Structures are given as C-alpha cells and as structure tokens.
Homo-oligomer: A and B are copies of this chain.
Amino acid sequence: MTSTERHATGRPATLHDVARLAGVSIATASKALNGRKHVSATTRAEVLEAAALLAYSPNTLARGLVAGRTGMVGLLTSDLEGRLSIPILMGAEDAFGADRTSVLLCDARGDAIREGHHLRTLLSRRVDGLIVVGARPDPRPSIGRDLPVPVVYAYAPSADPDDLSLVSDNVTAGRMAIEHLTGLGRRTIAHITGDPTYGAAQDRAKGALAELAARGLPLAGDRVHFGAWTEAWGRSATRTLLAQHVAIDAVFAGSDQIARGVIDALHEEGLEVPRDVAVIGFDNWEIFATSSRPPLSSIDMNLETLGRVAAERLAAAFDGALGSGVEQIPCRLVPRESTVAA
C-alpha cells in the first residue's frame, strides 16, 4: 500500500448510486431511506440492502442545502483553556443529540478582530445558531443585533438586554456557601475572594452577606477580602486575618485556587482543616478540588447545564421564539472533606 492509497480515493456513494444498484429512481430511494410512506416493503428492503452494500452515507451538506438548515451551531469562545467551553459544548451536544446537530468550535482568543472573522465564517457556513462563551462572567459587547440566526450568550452575558444570556446564579451560590457552613455549626466566617471588578465576585459576596445577615451573624474580619484569583492572594489574605487575631472557624473562598492558598496558610499557622477552620471553594475545578489536602468542598457552576439550556433555547428559537434578558442558572454545592462536621 503506497502512501497515496492510505484513504480510499473513490468518492463516497451517492443516492444516485444506491438507486441504480437497487434498480429504482432516486426519488424512491430517498423515500425508502428516509422512512417515508408510499414505498412497498420489498423495494424498501432492496434499497436498504443496496445502501448497506455501498456503505452509503447521505451527504448532510446537500441535505442542508435543500432543507435550509445545516444542523450545525457555532460555539464562539474566548476561553483559552477550554475549561468553560468544553463542559458547555458537552451539555449542548447532549441536548441537541449529537447526531442531529454538530458544533463548530472557534476560539477568538480574546481578540475582537478574530471574533468578527470567526463570526463571518460561521455565518457563511450557515450555522443554525450561535452560542457565545465569554472568558469572564461580566457583560460583554453584543455580537450584533440583526444576525440571521439566533444567538445565546453563555457564562458572560451580552451587554444588550435584548439578547438572551445565560449566567450562573452567583448570588444564590453565595447564600448556599454560607448556609452550608452555618449548617456545620460555624459562626465566624470570613470571605476571601478575587478581583472586585468581577461582577461574579460582587454577586457571590452579596449573597453571602445577605445570608449571614438573615442569620444574624457578622462577617469575620468585618469586610469582604477582595484581591486576585490566585493562591498567593488566598495565602496572604489568610495570614493577614490571623495576624489580626481575627477568630475564624470557616472561610468561604471565591475560587478553588484561592481556597488552596487559604488552606496552605492555615496549615502553616498550625490550624487544621476542617477541624479548626472549614474551607469551601468555588468552581469545583476537579483537578484542584480533589488534589487539595483535604479534598476541597466547592460550588459547581453546572456548566454542562448551562450548555444544555443554551441548546434548548436555540432549538426553541429555530421554531420561532427566542427570549431575551438574563437567565440565571443555579449552581450546586459539592461537599468534600474540607467542610465535614467537626
């Protein structure tokens, strides 16, 4: 076998080939293969046999040309690591049914020019819809008002309220964290989180504060400790708190990385987790949460669900109605050892 013969060179069989082999017209062959009425059982069997013999696989492009639908959706992301877009993609695949709809993934790498470029090629490929995934959970510019296809924004909402956006319910997630910690009997809880310019950081803090207030509890350290989404910040903020002799029996961290820094610093000060201080993170980034000592309780943003709902909204839009505004997707708490009862 020479290198040129690696893949079969002959064009794939067409409906025409099948029809000819079965001795019928392409119209009949088409009906038979698509399970339409008005075909005798015997001819149907013959057509099916011919198709099997030729390893016939219908050309989805040609089908899309006549149907006016390609069965493809574009996933336009700016998420360099795929940490967001892959779960969202999988959720969307599940909802669509992988055989009916395929996903074209394009990474704009945070570049508006490249995004516009990808948008144009996706539209020229006549995708049936678009899912736009932002890199950070804050409003981003709308990709355009009068696009020929429905668009759903996931994770990062569109700045245009007429667009439909799907975001994580960070406020409720903040409440959940506090609810969980107080359920363990903890009463002096600190909140160490990331960059205050992130709406998500503000929302999580807002939810946490509201839940603390509802329970008549103060926030340990008297204020939310905003900083950066890094282990280093988690460590330094924790050390600051301990140096000030703030009594804490739990920390709600704004991300799993911050949580790891918090745990590190606690250990260095001779405090044990969760016995002395319970710690909960955010994101449920498996690789961090499970390799932490002890394994880290965390809040999962249900990104697969986000992708699934995005797909459902798009599917509904194909039949006419696309909503607008921002839809909140609930998070879920994943308990691990860092917050077991003392």
Contacts and interface: CB of A to CB of B under 8 A. Distances in A.
Contact of A4 (B70, B126, B320): B320
Nearest to A319: B4
A210 interface: no
Contacts of A291: 230-232, 257
Interface stretch (A27-35, A113-121, A217-225): A113-121
Contacts of A60: 121, 124-126
A53 to B, nearest CB: 15
A110 interface: no
Interface stretch (A43-51, A86-94, A188-196, A246-254): A86-94
Contacts of A317: 6-7
A124 B82 contact: no
Interface string A72-105: 1000000011110110011001000011001111
A93 B81 contact: no
A314 to B, nearest CB: 11
A112 to B, nearest CB: 14
A43 B70 CA distance: 33
A262 interface: no
Contacts of A324: 3, 6
